[in-house]
């Protein structure tokens, strides 16, 4: 069997495999939205958005970026505390939030904003090493 590249028509995320998964690993879309990469068209993100949808996506983008910043701070706090497990968990969550922001930006037709240097809030990172294990 030959490995192929698939793309999700909902979020654009690529997937490498022999067959597409039952759901998109990134956004959870059903398999019917995972197509051979040669059939995927990036213009599918060029849709007319209502003003309400634009406003909702703009709010969603701000949330995703705030969450990215939070998990970046939490990862740094866990690293400082010597908690490698939680550092890795927060880093993974940070990447997911950043990817969500990227997907929202595709529909808004804007570049993913750079994260600003921010001071981590002590409240946001105070419990970063409390829970261990899955």
38: CATH: 2.20.28.10
Q: Is 45 helix (H, G, I), strand (E, B) or coil?
A: helix
pLDDT at 45: 72
Query: Domain limits at 59?
Result: 51-125
Phi, psi (degrees; rounded to nearest 5) at 64? -60, -40
Q: 78 and 21, same structural domain? A: no
Strand partners, 17: 4
Same domain, 55 and 106: yes
**pLDDT tens string 14-69:** 999 999 999 998 888 899 999 999 998 888 777 788 999 999 999 999 999 999 99
Residue 134 lies in a domain: no
Query: Do 121 and 70 belong to one domain?
Result: yes
Predicted confidence at residue 119, as pLDDT, reads: 62
Residue 130 within a domain: no
Mean pLDDT computed over every residue of the chain: 85
Do 38 and 59 lie in one domain? The reply is no
Number of domains in the chain: 2
Which sign, positive or negative, has the C-alpha torsion 110, 112, 113, 118? positive
Q: Domain check: are 119 and 55 in the same one?
A: yes
Tokens of 73: 């701070």
- What pTM value is reported for the model? 0.68
Q: Average pLDDT in the 107-116 region?
A: 83
């Amino acid at each position: 069997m030959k490995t192929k590249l698939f793309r999700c028509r909902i979020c654009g995320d690529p997937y490498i495999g022999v067959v597409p998964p039952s759901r998109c690993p990134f956004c959870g879309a059903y398999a019917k939205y995972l197509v051979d990469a040669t059939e995927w068209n990036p213009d599918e993100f060029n849709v007319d958005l209502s003003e309400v949808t634009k406003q909702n996506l703009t709010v969603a983008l701000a949330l995703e970026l705030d969450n990215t910043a939070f998990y970046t701070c939490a990862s740094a706090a866990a690293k400082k505390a010597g908690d490698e497990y939680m550092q890795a968990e927060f880093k993974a969550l940070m990447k997911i939030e950043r990817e969500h922001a990227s997907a929202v930006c595709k529909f808004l037709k804007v570049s993913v904003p750079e994260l600003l240097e921010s001071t981590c809030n002590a409240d946001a990172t105070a419990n970063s090493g409390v829970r261990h294990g899955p």
